[in-house]
């Protein structure tokens, strides 16, 4: 075999990986469409059923808690049965959640409605797991690119979904359902189609294929070791692997900072007289920053390295927070800061996810990825919940200053740990 000849096994994996990425992108578009169609409707429906706007924030809270609660079970299912089973199960749980929401609206039952939104959080959990599925068979030189393409595909649904409000109302009227529920019917159909895409398209399963290849490469003697690794929980991996801890911390912290500042921006702008149109434009530009350029950060992850791209992401977060500290009364400055915040989140989470995947063996990856997703969702929930009281006491610039110190301290601490380890 010549030096330029690629082994047949590598060719087979490369072809399979291309198909896996296409399937994941299709599933993410459908899942994002379903989530986008219901995200803005959830708060409105909860307000209507409860009779009070005080409950409206529970839509995002319950969905986030659902994503956190289901991340580890879905990861364990992936480890035992493969990505195909795990991702399709997550999509079907989201279908059940949408059905529960519609039923709760018909019955005017608040707690059943909240339970349905909690189940809808499985859509967020599978969204996060899908980006890791893109790395199962990816070559190390393309891991960031493939992961980022799946992240980018979420943009399609996130942008198109909220525009399905009127079609959803038409569907609801045709089915004689209460107002605001038609979007959840669209969500259920989209998620069901997504489950079908995963069930049909992920054959052979990428994770099971990668695990089998890793065992074959290690030899038969490694079978007992692999079995022991499979039984090792994600938290145990975190305790034993400094690289895994740094990667998971990067993803969780970046998400918490993003959610904390983003969730308070509409409140801050509205209280200073900004129109709803301007608030919506600011958030739309922020979301574009989160997803639209993720392939660029995937490319940088592969070319410059994941750690370098993470540092770039943290620098963008710091710059975004600095703008918020210096110009809280200037809507142009705040909007620019939100765009940079989205870009910083994108670079940090794309490269951070690549670091999570590279930190351990293929056998251990699913559980570590599940723990990372759960901690990411919980960090976002904590960040959003804590941001309100800080905003009330210290203002928007005070909130940004607290987050800036947190990010700077974490970056410095991690650099010191790496220096100490190198020494």
pLDDT tens per residue across span 274-333: 776 777 788 778 878 888 889 999 999 999 999 999 999 999 999 999 999 999 889 899
Contacts of 327 (CB under 8 A, 6+ apart): 333, 334, 337
pLDDT at 11: 53
Q: Is pLDDT of 6 > 60? A: no
pLDDT tens per residue across span 43-79: 778 878 888 766 766 777 788 888 889 998 998 999 8
Reduced to 3 states (helix: H, G, I; strand: E, B; else coil), residue 362 is coil
pLDDT tens per residue across span 234-281: 677 777 778 888 889 889 999 999 988 887 888 788 777 877 677 778
CA distance 145 to 372: 20
CA distance 5 to 227: 34
Higher-pLDDT residue of 354 and 272 is 354
Higher-pLDDT residue of 148 and 263 is 148
Residue 195, CA distances (Å) to 19, 27, 28, 100 in order: 16, 8, 10, 18
Does an H or E element contain 98, and which?
helix 83-107
* Cβ atoms of 84 and 205 closer than 8 Å: yes
Q: Is pLDDT of 81 > 60? A: yes
Higher-pLDDT residue of 36 and 333 is 333
Q: Is pLDDT of 233 > 70? A: no
DSSP class of residue 54 equals G
* Cβ atoms of 117 and 58 closer than 8 Å: yes
CA distance 411 to 423: 18
pLDDT tens per residue across span 171-217: 889 999 998 888 899 889 999 999 999 999 999 999 999 888 877 76
Contacts of 286 (CB under 8 A, 6+ apart): 262, 265, 338, 339, 341, 342
pLDDT at 38: 61
Nearest-5° Cα angle at 187, 185 to 190: 110
Contacts of 420 (CB under 8 A, 6+ apart): none
- Provide Rg for the chain, Cα atoms: 22
Domain map (residue ranges) of the chain:
1-218, 234-423
Cα-flanking dihedrals φ and ψ of residue 2, to 5°? -75, 165
CA distance 341 to 345: 6
Residue 76: which of 207, 184, 192, 175 has the closest Cα? 207
Q: Ranked by mean pLDDT, which of 91-100, 149-158, 289-298, 385-394 comes out on top?
A: 91-100
Read off the pLDDT band of 220 (50, 70, 90). Answer: very low
CA 326 to chain centre: 30
Reduced to 3 states (helix: H, G, I; strand: E, B; else coil), residue 134 is coil
pLDDT at 381: 83
pLDDT at 335: 92
pLDDT at 221: 44
pLDDT at 3: 42
Residue range 1-218 forms a domain whose CATH class is mainly alpha
Share of the chain above pLDDT 90, in %: 37
Residue 155: which of 287, 63, 258 has the closest Cα? 287
Q: Is pLDDT of 136 > 80? A: yes
CATH number of 234-423: 1.20.1250.20
DSSP class of residue 221 equals G
Lowest mean pLDDT among 149-158, 224-233, 277-286: 224-233
Q: What six digits make up the tokens of 113?
A: 């409605």
Read off the pLDDT band of 151 (50, 70, 90). Answer: confident
Q: Is pLDDT of 86 > 60? A: yes
CA distance 243 to 249: 10
CA distance 296 to 350: 10
pLDDT at 254: 93
**Other Cβ atoms closer than 10 A to 217:** 9
Domains 1-218 and 234-423 share a fold: yes
pTM over 0.85: no
Residue 171: which of 162, 183, 160, 163 has the closest Cα? 183
């Amino acid at each position: 075999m010549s030096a330029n000849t690629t082994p047949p096994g590598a060719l087979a994996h490369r072809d399979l990986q291309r198909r896996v990425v296409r399937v994941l992108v299709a599933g993410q578009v459908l899942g994002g469409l379903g989530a986008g169609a219901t995200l803005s409707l959830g708060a409105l429906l909860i307000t209507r059923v409860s009779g009070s706007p005080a409950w409206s924030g529970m839509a995002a809270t319950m969905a986030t808690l659902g994503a956190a609660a289901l991340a580890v079970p879905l990861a364990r299912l992936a480890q035992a049965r493969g990505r195909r089973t795990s991702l399709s199960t997550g999509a079907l749980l989201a279908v059940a959640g949408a059905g529960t929401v519609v039923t709760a609206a018909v019955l005017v039952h608040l707690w059943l409605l909240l339970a349905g939104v909690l189940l809808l959080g499985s859509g967020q959990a599978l969204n996060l797991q899908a980006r890791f599925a893109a790395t199962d068979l990816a070559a190390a030189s393309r891991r960031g690119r493939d992961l980022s393409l799946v992240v980018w595909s979420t943009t399609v649904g996130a942008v198109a979904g909220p525009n399905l409000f009127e079609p959803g109302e038409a569907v609801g009227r045709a089915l004689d359902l209460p107002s605001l529920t038609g979007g959840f019917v669209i969500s259920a159909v989209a998620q069901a189609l997504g489950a079908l895409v995963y069930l049909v398209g992920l054959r052979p399963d990428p994770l099971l294929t990668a695990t089998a290849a890793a065992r074959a490469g290690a030899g038969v003697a490694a079978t007992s070791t692999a079995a022991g690794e499979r039984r090792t929980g994600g938290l145990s991996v975190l305790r034993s692997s400094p690289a895994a801890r740094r990667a998971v911390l990067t993803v969780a912290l970046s998400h918490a900072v993003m959610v904390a500042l983003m969730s308070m921006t509409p409140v801050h702008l509205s209280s200073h007289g900004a129109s709803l149109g301007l608030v919506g434009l600011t958030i739309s530009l922020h979301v574009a920053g989160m997803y639209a350029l993720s392939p660029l950060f995937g490319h940088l992850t592969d070319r410059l390295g994941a750690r370098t791209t993470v540092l770039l992401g943290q620098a963008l977060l710091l710059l975004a927070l600095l703008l918020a500290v210096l110009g809280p009364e200037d809507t142009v400055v705040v909007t620019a800061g939100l765009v940079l915040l989205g870009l910083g989140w994108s670079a940090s989470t794309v490269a951070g996810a690549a670091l999570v995947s590279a930190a351990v063996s293929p056998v251990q990856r699913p559980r570590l990825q599940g723990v990372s997703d759960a901690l990411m969702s919980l960090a976002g929930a904590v960040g959003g919940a804590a941001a309100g009281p800080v905003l009330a006491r210290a203002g928007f610039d005070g909130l940004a200053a607290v987050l800036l110190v947190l990010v700077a301290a974490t970056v410095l601490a991690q650099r010191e740990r790496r220096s100490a380890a190198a020494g």
